[in-house]
Structure formats: C-alpha cells, structure tokens
Structure 1
C-alpha cells in the first residue's frame, strides 16, 4: 500500500465516522425524519427562499423524491411554501421557526459529538486535525452545489 492509498483509507475511515455521527444526530434530534428529509430542510435553510427544483439540484436527487420530502416537512410545520411572485408557476420554500430550531438542534448535537472526539486527542494532534479539516473543507468547496463533489470520475 502506498502513501496515497493510506491517505485515502484514513479519509474513508474518517468519512464513515462522520457519517455515523451525522446519522445519529439527525435520528436523535428529529426522531421522525429521514436523512433525505433533513437534508432537504438544511438546503432550504441555507438557500432561503429556494425552489423545489433548486433543492433537488443541490441534493443531486430526483425532483419527485425531493417533492415528497418537502411535502412531509410542510406537513410537520418545518417548511412553508409560497408562490413565487416573479414566476407564478414556481413555489418558494422557506423553513418555519420550528424548522430553523430543528436545524440548530441537530447542529448542536453534532458540535457536542465532534467535540467529544476531538477532546480525546492530544493538543498538538487536535490542532493538526482541525487545520486538516479546514484545509479539506476549502479544497472540497469547488462550487455552490454538492453535486460538484461527485465530479471525481471526470
């Protein structure tokens, strides 16, 4: 195994841990939402106001899947819908106060979980890890959409 493979394997192990933390914190904070529903809520919260098609594009998902997720979020009073005054055929989405609180609650659970892991590291290692995380996040921020991250095979 060369150094590049070792780096990818380490990154993959970290990714698995991060996904486990992300899944567990959504489950703990929401109880009744699927990951797709929560991801849609987060995109709406970050891009408000936003159209359903933009949410589908951001998530790189089928529009009908996103529509179902957003309908569920609306029925739970986590999202609100309004007709776009500039294009009456479009519906704009925005989180409700309850939806924003849920996003904040999940983020707080994630902060606590990540802090607990980082606290187990020695000071110098923790500093290196947090610097590496910041560098990685900057390198991955290639555009305004997560679908750009899937361009690894091009």
Structure 2
C-alpha cells in the first residue's frame, strides 16, 4: 500500500457517498413508493429481459426469497410481469411492463439531471478531467461484483 492510498481512498469514499446519495434520492424522488431493493430488481430485469428470478438474485447478491418478495411487490404495482419459462417449468421469467420501463427511464433521467447540475458547478477543464477520471474508474472497477475481502 502506498502512502497516498489512504487520502486517495478517503476522497474516493466521499465521492462514492455523494453518488450513492444521488442514486438513492433519485429513486425516492422518481418512484416515491419503491425500496432501493425493489428498484434494483426492476433495473436488473429491465437490463436483462427476460431474466429468471435466480439470475436477479445472483446479480444483486441477495437471498432469493428477498428478491422474490421484491419482485412480487413490483408485480402487484404493475411494474413487472412474471411468466413460467416454457423451456424449464421450474423457472419464473421476469420482464418489466411498459410502466416499469418508463419508471427506470424516469430514474435515469433524474440521475442525469442531478449529475449534469453537479458537473456544471465545475470549470470546463475540471469537468473534462472528471469525465475522463470517472471513465477510468469505471474501467478499473469492471468485474467487481462484490466487495473484495480484507487482507
């Protein structure tokens, strides 16, 4: 570990907290009725349609029963539809309804709006550097599905 890693990770942690705040508040603002877990399940379903309940649980690294309850709530709200997999009768396939896709799009739009506002507070050179840095960070983080264990 280098000497600069502690201050670097502190700054990265502060940025992560700011991003999580933006992500959480955008879900609350756009949906008003969903938990973050429910929205995350809807997001995975919208991104991977059609998808099995097990795959959603794996992607969210959550207990399948928790995901089942979240998805049942989304079905009751008309945001998700379930169907038996014709190729495997033991599997349930999930897909967002049009209303569910619109909600995901609305959350994305809210997030873009807030991020644009935050980035507009930076000078043009800073904004360009930030976009490059975020791209590099995204590339470096690719493949991290869960938190790496401490050593």
**Residue 122 (structure 1) aligns with:** 123
**Residue 139 (structure 1) aligns with:** 140
**Residue 55 (structure 1) aligns with:** 56
Q: Structure 1 runs of 4+ off > 6 angstroms?
A: none
CA contact (8 A) 1:80 1:96 kept: yes
CA contact (8 A) 1:140 1:149 kept: no
Q: Deviations over 1:62-105 (max 9, x none)?
A: 11100000000000000001110110111100000000000000
TM-score by length of 2: 0.95
Q: How does 1:4-83 map to 2 (within 5 A)?
A: 4-83=5-84
For 1:52 and 1:153, the matched residues in 2 are separated by: 30
3-state SS in 2 of match to 1:150: coil
C-alpha deviation, 1:153, in angstroms:
3.6
C-alpha deviation, 1:2, in angstroms:
3.2
For 2:142 and 2:27, the matched residues in 1 are separated by: 23
TM-score by length of 1: 0.93
CA contact (8 A) 1:82 1:92 kept: yes
For 2:26 and 2:91, the matched residues in 1 are separated by: 33
List runs of 5+ in structure 2 lacking aligned partners: none
C-alpha deviation, 1:141, in angstroms:
1.4
**Residue 148 (structure 2) aligns with:** 151
C-alpha deviation, 1:152, in angstroms:
4.6
For 1:56 and 1:73, the matched residues in 2 are separated by: 15
**Residue 94 (structure 1) aligns with:** 95
What's the C-alpha RMSD, in Å, of the aligned pairs?
1.4
